[in-house]
Amino acid sequence: MKLNDTSAHYKAKDALTASQPALILMTYDAALRFMAEAQTYMKEGNIAAKGTAIESAFACITELRRALDMKKGGDIATSLSTLYDFMTAQITRANFANDPALLEPVRKSLKTLRMGWQEAIEKLRKQGQLAEFETPQSQGVLAR
């Protein structure tokens, strides 16, 4: 098994055994990684790799949107859904224009949201309200 195959195997195992809060952080991390890759591939002129990275980032944002509970989340869920709509539209514009600068607002928003989720998770953990979601496998992701 190659190193990349081994890494992918462990990442897949982590995803299968992670708590919901950990999965959300993992999805933000993946989206940020794919966005950075897309920007690099745009600069290099690697159209095929750019397309794959864009598609993967788009899929991550779609998953984040699907994770929203619009009934329980109220105005926050509605605002996040609107922001995710902006992100996917902006990614599409950047892809067609092959302009890495158009991806920067999306990356900044993803970073901010990821930090917010991390802070909320830490707050819930300190209040003892996160224990039901935690698994031994999610500890590393939640601590990042």
The architecture (CATH level 2) of 19-142 comes to Up-down Bundle (1.20)
- Per-residue confidence band for 7, with pLDDT thresholds at 50, 70 and 90: very low
- Per-residue confidence band for 142, with pLDDT thresholds at 50, 70 and 90: very low
Do residues 31 and 64 make contact, with C-beta atoms less than 8 angstroms apart? yes
- Per-residue confidence band for 9, with pLDDT thresholds at 50, 70 and 90: very low
Report if pTM > 0.75: yes
Ordered by start, the domain boundaries in the chain are: 19-142
- Per-residue confidence band for 141, with pLDDT thresholds at 50, 70 and 90: very low
Q: DSSP letter at 62? A: H
User: What local confidence, expressed as pLDDT, does residue 12 receive?
Assistant: 46
Both tokens assigned to 17:
């055994």
* CA pair distance 51, 133, nearest whole angstrom: 35
pLDDT at residue 31 greater than cutoff 70: yes
Distances (CA, A) of 95 to 34, 36, 38: 13, 13, 9
- Beta-carbon count within 10 A of 141 CB: 20
* CA pair distance 47, 114, nearest whole angstrom: 28
What are the residue ranges of helices labelled H in 45-103?
47-66, 70-97
Higher pLDDT, 51 or 2: 51
Percent of the chain with pLDDT over 70: 77
